[in-house]
Amino acid sequence: MYSIIIAIDGYSACGKSTLAKTLSQQLGYAYIDTGAMYRATTLYFIRHNINLNDNQAIEAALAIINIHFEYLDGLNTTFLNDENVEQAIRSIEVSNLVSEVAAIPAVRRKMVQQQQQMAKTKGFVLDGRDIGTVVFPDAELKIFLTASIAERTRRRFKELQQKNTIITYSEVLENLQHRDHIDSTRKDSPLRKADDAILLDNTYLNKEEQLSKVLTLVESAKAITSTKQ
C-alpha cells in the first residue's frame, strides 16, 4: 500500500492536532506536531531570558536546543533536551510569546530543517502553519483547516478549563486573534493556504464527520500517487 505525506495547516485552535493525531492512528502513520517544536523553543527562550532582538543569543540557543518526540502511554510527547515538556509548552506564558518566536527567520530555518529530516520517508502526518507551503510543498495531500473564531475560542476555552487553567473566554479570544494576526502577517513563511490545499471548514462538523471526509481524501491521494509510480 502506498504511504504519503499529509500536511495539515490552519489557524490556531481549529482542531489540526486532534485531526492529525486520529488520522495518524487510523493510518498507522507517524505524527509530527510542528507547533510543539516552536513552543519548546519558546519555553527555552523564556527560561533562559533570551532577548528576541539578540540574533547572536538566538543562534547560540538554537545550537543547544534539541527537540524530539516520544510516545508515552500512547500519547505523542514533546521533549526539550531530553526533558518531558509536554505540559509546560501548553502554558499561557508560552502561548502568548510563541508567535513572536516563530516569526524569527533563524528559528524557522532550524525547525523546518528538522521537520524535513524527521519525515524523510513517507507515512507522516504533520500539522502546522507552513507545512504545505514550505516544509513539504510536494506533500501528496494538503488540507487547510478552518473554523469560525467563535467556535475556535469556545473549543480552546473548554480544553483549558478541563485542565483547570485559570483563564477567561476573552483572554483566550485575544490570544487566538493575536496569534492569527502575527502568524499570517509575518514576513518569513506566513500562514496561508497552499494553492493546491483542500479547504475544510469544520465549524459545523463533529470529529467523526471530519475524519470520514479526510479519510476519503486520503484514499484519493493514495490512488493518484499509485498511478504516478
The least distance separating ligand DC from the CB of residue 12, rounded to whole angstroms, comes to 5
Candidates 5, 27, 29, 35: give the one binding ligand DC (CB under 6 A). 35
Q: Does 156 bind ligand DC (CB under 6 A)?
A: no
Q: Which residue's CB is nearer to ligand DC, number 34 or number 76?
A: 34
Candidates 183, 197, 210, 221: give the one binding ligand DC (CB under 6 A). 183
Integer Cα distance of 76 and 114 in angstroms: 17
Candidates 12, 41, 114, 210: give the one binding ligand DC (CB under 6 A). 12
Q: Does 99 bind ligand DC (CB under 6 A)?
A: yes
> What residues form DSSP beta bridges with 128?
9
Q: Which residue's CB is nearer to ligand DC, number 195 or number 229?
A: 195
Which residues ranging from 60 to 89 are in contact with ligand DC (CB under 6 A)? none
Query: Which one-letter amino acid corresponds to residue 146?
Result: T
- Concatenating the DSSP letter of every residue in 119-165 gives T-SS-EEEEESSIIIII-TT-SEEEEEE--HHHHHHHHHHHHHHTT-
Pairing between strand 75-80 and 67-72?
A: antiparallel
Q: Which residue's CB is nearer to ligand DC, number 31 or number 38?
A: 38
Q: Is residue 125 a contact partner of residue 6, using CB atoms and an 8 Å limit?
A: yes
The least distance separating ligand DC from the CB of residue 223, rounded to whole angstroms, comes to 28
Candidates 5, 7, 24, 39: give the one binding ligand DC (CB under 6 A). 39
**Segment lying near ligand DC (by CB under 6 A), choices 24-32, 35-43, 60-68, 211-219:** 35-43
Residue showing cell 478549563: 161
Q: Does 179 bind ligand DC (CB under 6 A)?
A: yes
Cα–Cα distance list, 156 to 24, 54, 151, 214, 225 (Å): 22, 33, 9, 22, 36
Q: Does 58 bind ligand DC (CB under 6 A)?
A: no
Strands (E), 163-211: 198-201
Candidates 14, 58, 102, 147: give the one binding ligand DC (CB under 6 A). 102
Q: Any residues with CB less than 8 A from the CB of 228 and at least 6 apart, and which?
A: none
In the complex, the residues that contact ligand DC under the rule CB under 6 A are: 12, 34-35, 38-39, 98-99, 102, 128-131, 179, 183
